[in-house]
Structures are given as structure tokens and as C-alpha cells.
Structure 1
């Protein structure tokens, strides 16, 4: 073999090894959860799934969230609050089996840039998506907060899919039970019934409404809760037959003290039991706001509390604060951990 061919073979081999090395570096593997850090998916890209929720299905966790545009701007013509906005990018989905390493499944509910009248136009607001599976219809059902840029539309939007990774078909938006619907979540109970929990009456009152068998509309059965207490960002979970609801006060993008309430049934009377957060940073919910709480599969009494640390002037860089939630007697407790694992 000539020297020229040997050099060519050497450089070709070197190039292949370099590409393999870069690929290995790009495919990021994580061993723990670091609240407030920049989180990367398995391809090495920052995770973009804000105001999100988790669905556990067939051994896989699916994380749905707001896919935010990379430019943040202030709507200075909105005078009611500090209205920082990023163009809507649709709803993203990530999957994981260990809650640490997340694979990007794509935009499962895309925006509709060509239709300026659509709820899903990038200029509109698509927030706080949550997905549950309907055992009867075999559909995956997504509920979300649909808004106008000035936050005066206050609709709930619904979409369905045959697969957890979409694409989801948008069914439209409406005002549930004839009233406003802003920050929201949905909860599926052990008996198969599902509920939407949402801030209404200009955020003054939190509604809990029973959904129909298809999970796509309300039945008209609902309760008004925490009347004139201005609660938002609801997160609902169940432990040993009792229902718990964590919420935030209404202070715009700025953090405040979380509050937890408990009830014997979803449509029953809710009793406030105080701030579930303890330790340093508890008075500001660790500089974050609640979005979802979910049980760790196979571990009784162990949950993950999901919060968003909003960066109002650069919304795409808002961080995820996930912390373990455990029970001390009958009270849920969340404590700051700068890094933690499921072990």
C-alpha cells in the first residue's frame, strides 16, 4: 500500500472516530435531577416543555409542555398586568423510563401559522397542557389553556390522539360551564372519572368540573372552591383515598407561597392545610410555581412535584424545578434538594 493510501486511510479512520465522539457527547446521559439547571434531552438539546404535566402509560412517562419561541417581548398595550410573551410553538412531548433521561418525541400539537384566526396561531397563547388516557375510547385526551395575547379570552382547549406521541387533533375551545378558564389541570381518578380544575371568575375562584365519558366536554357538574382567594396553577394528586391540591397565589410571573388543600372527594369540601414546602426558599416556592404532581410508579407515597421557575424576560429559558414529595403523617412535604435521584 502506498504512503498516500495509508495517510488517506488514517485520516478517514480519524474522521470516523471524531464523528463518533461528537455523537456520543451530543447524546447526553444524566444520572440525577438538578432543579433549576438547564435540562437537556438525549440528543443534547435544551428541553422545551413549560407549564407541563406527566402521563404514565405502559411503563413510560410522557412529559407534555408549552414549546416556547426563542424571542420574548412585552405587550405594553396590556395594562392589567406585566404581559411578557413568547410566540406559541405548540405542545411538545418527551418520553422517559427513568424520569431523568428524556427523548424528544416532537411537537404533538403543532401551531397553525397560516390561519391568523386559529386558537393555535403562534400569536395566541397555548398553556398548561395535560394529557390523560381514556380506557373506554382508547384515546389520549389533552386539555390546555387557550388565550388571546391580552389574556382576556380565557378558554379551555381540547385535543385527542390515538397515540401518546400524537399527532393530536384539535377539537376547539370553549368556556367550560359558561365561565372563564385560565390556569388549569386535569385529573383522572381510580374509578375512571376525570375532572378539569381551573381558575375562573377572573382568577378569583377555582372550579372543579366533572368531565363526560369521553373526557372531551364538561357534564355541567362542578363546584366553586377557594372563593375570592385568587388561586391559580393547580396541581391535584391522590394518596390513600384522599385528594390533595397544591396551588399558587396570583402574582403574575413572580413567585409566591404555595398552598395545599385536602378533600375526601374531588367534588367535596376542600380544607386548607398550609404550605407544603419547607426549608430555605419555601416562602417563594423555591422561586417557582406549581404545575403538576405525579406518583412515582411502584412506590407508594412517593411523588414528584413539578414547578416552573419563570424567566419573564426570556421565557424559553424558564427552568424546571422538580422535587420529591413525601408524606409525613397525612401532610405532603416538599423540601429543596439541589440534586437528587429516585434512590
Structure 2
């Protein structure tokens, strides 16, 4: 009897001690089974008292930068302790499938559609063996937040449609733009004036790093890096969130942004992005607007303190609005480890808004109790 009691007590203590009530940015984050959380480039959804964290499932070695398993999901009641829900969108063994094993599935974001009662996942898809040339937006659907999700289709958005903030005079190419040397001021000006929009007009606009934002009126938008990562696009989704309305706009043309993350406070939309330096960290950027359609005003780097110029050695992926807490937002980011992707870690930090500007400050350890009313 004493032995049994001792074992039970040991198990209880082990469970209690394994629970966390703090965020430890950059440190290894284990799930409730004691295994490192594997949900990179992730997004978040709150459903019936639980948070669901979706992300890229990475494996070891350079090959782990491709999708060998699929999209993973974890659930939590408190944001600290996460249960592994498994792979909710699996790669397929069929070599003819667009999501065949070895493709690239990145930055999954899941939203709930009130009209249909379905869970909709959008993600960035690159076809197997094509590098990053496909640049497609992909969509999957499920009846439940923890899947399984069924892949629907992938394609480039806004085929044959001009953005709403595009001047008619730029709808025809200049005679000499094809001869411009890349990265010169003249070339950047041509990008700003729509050179790549015209190039991709008939086949659809590129869609790489992305997020999905659902507004207060249930309108949803895909915000994605396009034009060879030189310009961000905001594309409105139709009522069931499974396609595009063909209404879209450009943000920061030729400014070279990716990794967009969006939130809204006090009627103002905010966006945090990164520069484009591959897997290496760089200085974050921030923007604000009174309308999702712009104009978007550049606010500069939101990070302050040590390593602010490198976004604390991370890259944005999502901004979480804490459920039931007014104006409390968490900046979610990744520390990539491309040589062994499974070792990538996560940076979660509280966002403070000062004079309509988002501020990110480093904390070695923090909790939801540290939030101050903005």
C-alpha cells in the first residue's frame, strides 16, 4: 500500500511540476507529453474555451524545411500548457497531389466561418521540386478545430484583376522596363509602379508568407507577400472564406516585406512584418491604418532594447488577441534553425500600444498577469 501511495504521489507531483504559468521566450517549450512543441510559422484560434495552435511540423536535417508530415495542431486552456492534437492536415503519398510529401506548406492560419460552421485553413504552398516559384495560396476545410482538414485547392490569387489602389496609367508596361538592372533605384521604382503586377496579371499574383485576418464584421482577408516578396497584398475573401472576391490592394510597394501579422485596437489596424533575409533575422517593421484598405502608414521598428535590430533573433508569424482580455495582444514569432528545423523555437512577447504605435520589449520570463491596460 505504501509503495502504491508513493507511486501515485510521485506521479501527481510530476504532473504538477510539469505545469507552467509563464512564457519563456526562446527556450524549449514542451507539450503536456514532455515533447518539444512542433508548430512553426503558426497561427491561433480560440474555440469554446480552448486555444488551438496550428503550425508547420518540422523534422531534422535540411530536408526538414520541406513538408514531410503536414500541419500540426496543439490545444490549451491557458496558453502555457499545450496538448498535442496531432497532424491535422497530412501530406499525401500521391505524387500527383499538390500537397504530396516533400512539398512546402508554410504559415497555416485557421479561422471559423460562422455562415457555414466550417473551419477554414489557409497556408502558403510551394509545389514539390519547384523551389519557391509556385508561390500559391492554398485552402483546406474541416468540421472541427482539431481536424482532420481536407485539402481543397491551391492557386495564385487575383488572376486578371487590378488592385483598387492602382493607377490606370501603370496598366501598360513601359517599353524599356525589361532592361532595368535589378535592385537599382530605377528598378525599384518600376516595381512600385507595378512591373511585377503586370508580369503576373494573367496567371495570378504570387502568395508567399501570409496571415488571415477576420474583422469585427466577419469580413476576412488574406494578407500575403507578393511580387517576389517586394510588396504586400491584402485580398478580401468571399463569405465562406474559401475563395477571393477579386477586391485587393497593395501595401508598401517595393518595400520588401514578408511575415505579416495583423491586429486591431481602437478602430486602428496594425501590421508587423519583417524584412527579407531568408532564414536570418532582421529588423521588424510596423504599420497602421484607419482602414484595412489603407493607406498604411509606416511606423518603423516596433522593437526596443537589446537585439531590437534583429527582432530578438526572430521573425513574426501571428498576433494573438487574448480571449476575454480587452486590448491584450501577444506577438508570436519564430527562431528558425534551417540546418535542423525541428530545433526552431518560439518568441512570444506582450505588445504595448503607445501613441498608436506598437512596442515590443524583451522579457526573459513573463505571464499574462504582466499585461497592463493600454
Give the TM-score, by structure 2 length: 0.82
Matches of 2:14 and 2:61 in 1, distance apart?
A: 28
For the residue of structure 1 that corresponds to 2:59, the secondary structure is strand
Correspondence for 1:288 among 280, 303, 314: 314
- Distance in 1 separating the partners of 2:273 and 2:258: 6
Which of 179, 191, 201 is residue 205 of structure 2 equivalent to? 179
CA shift, 1:45, in A, is 1.0
Query: CA–CA distance in 2 between the matches of 1:340 and 1:34?
Result: 7
Deviation of residue 152 (structure 1)?
Answer: 1.0
- 1:31 matched residue in structure 2: 21
Once the two structures are superposed, residues 285-320 of structure 1 have per-residue CA deviations (whole angstroms, 9 ceiling, x without a partner) of 000000000111222222100010011111110100
Matches within 5 A, 1:250-329: 250-329=276-355
Which residue of structure 1 aligns with residue 124 of structure 2? 145
Deviation for aligned residue 1:17? 5.1
Which residue of 1 is the match for residue 172 of structure 2? none
Which residue of the other structure, out of 128, 140, 154, is the alignment partner of 2:135?
A: 154
C-alpha distance after superposition, 1:117-174 (max 9, x if no partner) = 2222221100000011111111111000001341111111101111101111110111
**1:124 aligned to 2:114?**
no
Contact map agreement 1:185 1:235 (CA 8 A) in 2: yes
The equivalent of 1:166 in structure 2 is 147
Distance in 2, matches of 1:102 and 1:259, equals 30
Instruction: Give distance in 2, aligned partners of 1:283 and 1:56.
Output: 32
Cα distance in 1 for residues equivalent to 2:133 and 2:34: 37
The answer for unaligned runs of 5 or more in structure 1 is 1-8, 74-83
Counterpart-to-counterpart distance in 2, 1:253 and 1:217: 30
Gaps of 5+ in 2: 159-203, 370-374
Please list the CA deviations of residues 59-103 of structure 1 after superposition, one character each: whole Å capped at 9, or x if unmatched: 211110001123324xxxxxxxxxx83443211111112110111
CA distance in structure 1 between the aligned counterparts of 2:101 and 2:12, rounded to whole angstroms: 33
- Match for residue 52 of structure 2 among 41, 46, 62: 62
Task: Kindly state the Cα deviation for residue 332 of structure 1 after the two structures are TM-superposed.
Answer: 1.2
Q: Is 1:44 the counterpart of 2:34 in the alignment?
A: yes
Runs of 4+ displaced beyond 6 Å: none
| Paired residues of 1:71 and 1:86 also in contact (CA < 8 A) | no
Q: Which moved more, 1:186-195 or 1:25-34?
A: 25-34
Give distance in 1, aligned partners of 2:263 and 2:8: 46
Instruction: Tell which deviates more after alignment, 290-299 or 234-243.
Output: 290-299
| 8 Å Cα contact 2:39-2:56 kept in structure 1 | yes
Q: Aligned partners of 2:235 and 2:28: how far apart in 1? A: 36
State the partner residue of 2:164. none
Deviation at 1:18, TM superposition (A): 4.8
CA contact (8 A) 1:295 1:303 kept: yes
1:243 corresponding residue in structure 2:
269
Does structure 1 conserve the Cα–Cα contact (< 8 Å) formed by 2:66 and 2:103? no
Q: Distance in 2 between matches of 1:208 and 1:322?
A: 25
| Contact map agreement 1:156 1:175 (CA 8 A) in 2 | yes
Q: CA deviation at 1:58?
A: 2.0
- Distance in 2 (alpha carbons) for counterparts of 1:317 and 1:87: 15
Distance (whole Å) between structure 2 residues aligned to residue 239 and residue 233 of structure 1 = 20
Q: Identify, as 1 or 2, the structure richer in strand.
A: 1
Which residue is equivalent to 2:198?
none
Shift of 1:218: 0.6
Q: 2:115 is paired with a residue of what secondary structure?
A: coil
Which piece of structure 1 moves more, 118-127 or 174-183? 118-127
1:157–1:69 distance in 2 versus 1, CA, 3 Å:
same
Partner SS for 2:109 = strand
Distance in 1 separating the partners of 2:98 and 2:368: 39
Aligned length: 321
Moved more, 57-66 or 24-33: 24-33
